[in-house]
Amino acid sequence: MTTFLPSGGFFDPENLKSQIAELETQANDADLWNNPDNARVVLQKKSSLEKTLNELLQLEQDYKNLYDLFEIAPEDPEIVNAIEKLSEDAHRAKFITLFREPADNNGAFLFIQAGAGGTEAQDWAQMMSRMYARWAERHGFSVEVIEEHEGDTAGIKNITYRISGERAYGWLKNEIGVHRLVRISPFNANGKRQTSFASVDVWPDIDDTIEIEINEKDLRIDTYRASGAGGQHVNKTDSAVRITHIPTNTVVTCQNERSQIQNREMAMKMLRSKLYELEMQKRTEAEDAAKAAQKKIEWGSQIRNYVLYPYQLVKDVRTNVEKTDSNAVLDGDLDDFMLASLQQN
């Protein structure tokens, strides 16, 4: 049985303890509290690192326990199965230390928008919506449709998911951008190759520990009739809510809750999350212009190509990670792409 949790490498407890101690020193500095926003960021980072350290220490303890049991009963099927599971957990633990930002541990809102191209692009947007839903299911995350607009003849024009689970935002944040599909069109009688685009936006599902001030005077709130394939609970009265934050021109909508009040509450939660993400982008831009540019969605600058014809290949243009099993990727096998992007940051 080989040790796969050595000190150092991705699991470096002493380094984590050092970072936590440094943040503890900052938190105890009275001057820090002259700026509550900075103080909150320090405490959030400290809490996140402590959580990471505890998880990795627990993983190492589980390994030691299994090592002893394995020496006693190496053929025991329960022990063998536990070792296999621990190996998978250890592989996933490589991601843990890459989640460094305060919001990385939160859930996420995921927005998919079909690009120009009518039915082709709308069908591609629907394929992507299934891909991310399957990815979330693989991780044990829950997926809730906040709003969905059907395509004119097939597919969807756009969809907003709320994905709840530990570190969902940390996993998904680098999926922001344009995704390009190349295939033989199922909607073209001549069987021509077609290129379609859809874009992804992601922002964290922030909780009440992160304060975002919103002035009611800065909001324009509109109601309208819910429509589209939003599920059996979509209320067909004027219950859908659209909120516009006028200073930033940020718009959020929700139609899938049972009442206008519930739709408004969810829309306000989404607005708080989006404004938080905007603020984080401003800070990031000041520190790292290149990283901030990555978060901008611009047509013609796709982050990933999905080629189904004349060959099978999915390639991320940022990291050069590629997979030849396109069907597996479209079924949610996205972790390798996400890990490469996290390691690059």
**CA–CA dist 219, 64 (Å, integer):** 56
First to last CA, the chain: 33
Residues 81 and 168 in one domain: no
Banded model confidence at residue 5, pLDDT cuts 50, 70, 90: very low
Q: Given its phi and psi angles, is residue 332 left (phi above 0), alpha (psi -120 to 50 degrees) or beta?
A: left
* Domain at 302, CATH number: 3.30.70.1660
Residues 164 and 83 in one domain: no
**CA–CA dist 267, 2 (Å, integer):** 50
Residues 86 and 113 in one domain: no
- Residue type (1 letter), 22: E
What's the domain range around 85? Answer: 13-97
Of 97, 128, 157, at which residue does a domain stop? 97
Residues 216 and 116 in one domain: yes
Q: Which residue has the higher pLDDT, 315 or 296?
A: 315
Instruction: Find where tokens 């005077």 sit.
Output: 217
Residues 182 and 52 in one domain: no
Token readout for 236 is: 């067909």
Displacement of CA 29 from its chain's centroid (Å): 34
Residues 122 and 259 in one domain: yes
Residue 1 is assigned to a structural domain of this protein: no
> Which three-class secondary structure state does DSSP give residue 204?
strand
Q: Given its phi and psi angles, is residue 274 left (phi above 0), alpha (psi -120 to 50 degrees) or beta?
A: alpha
Residue 311 is assigned to a structural domain of this protein: yes
Check if the beta carbon of residue 281 is closer than 8 Å to that of residue 292: yes
Check if the beta carbon of residue 199 is closer than 8 Å to that of residue 177: yes
Residues 155 and 32 in one domain: no
Residues 189 and 233 in one domain: yes
> Which three-class secondary structure state does DSSP give residue 3?
coil
Distances (CA, A) of 216 to 120, 157, 213, 222, 245: 40, 30, 10, 14, 9
Give the pLDDT confidence score for residue 324 in this predicted structure: 96
Render 166-219 in DSSP notation, one character per residue: TTHHHHHGGG-EEEEEEEE-TT-TT--EEEEEEEEEEEEE--TTS-----GGGE
What value does the mean pLDDT of the chain take?
Answer: 83
Q: Which residue has the higher pLDDT, 50 or 121?
A: 121
State pLDDT tens for residues 330-342.
999 999 999 899 9
Question: Considering the entire predicted model, what is its pTM?
Answer: 0.67
Mean pLDDT (whole number) for 140-169:
92
Distances (CA, A) of 56 to 42, 105, 155, 265, 345: 21, 15, 42, 37, 21
Residue 3 is assigned to a structural domain of this protein: no
List the Cα angle 90/80/51 in 5-degree steps: 25
Banded model confidence at residue 2, pLDDT cuts 50, 70, 90: very low
Residue 85 has pLDDT above 80, yes or no: yes
164, β-bridge pairs? 142
Q: Which residue has the higher pLDDT, 213 or 288?
A: 213
**CA–CA dist 162, 111 (Å, integer):** 9
244, β-bridge pairs? 220, 251
Residue 32 is assigned to a structural domain of this protein: yes
Give the pLDDT confidence score for residue 306 in this predicted structure: 97
Please give the tally of structural domains in the chain: 2
State pLDDT tens for residues 53-63.
888 888 888 88
Let me know how long the chain is.
345
Residues 179 and 236 in one domain: yes
Check if the beta carbon of residue 191 is closer than 8 Å to that of residue 185: yes
Residue 22 is assigned to a structural domain of this protein: yes
Token readout for 174 is: 């680098």
Displacement of CA 146 from its chain's centroid (Å): 15
Residue 5 is assigned to a structural domain of this protein: no
Check if the beta carbon of residue 14 is closer than 8 Å to that of residue 7: yes
Residue 4 is assigned to a structural domain of this protein: no
**CA–CA dist 250, 169 (Å, integer):** 20
Query: Where is average pLDDT lowest: 52-56, 184-188, 283-287?
Result: 283-287
Of 64, 97, 130, at which residue does a domain stop? 97
Residues 111 and 85 in one domain: no
Residues 45 and 160 in one domain: no
Residue 211 is assigned to a structural domain of this protein: yes
In degrees and rounded to multiples of 5, residue 7 shows phi and psi of -70, 150
Mean pLDDT (whole number) for 149-154:
91
> Which three-class secondary structure state does DSSP give residue 188?
coil
Of 97, 124, 153, at which residue does a domain stop? 97
Residues 72 and 190 in one domain: no
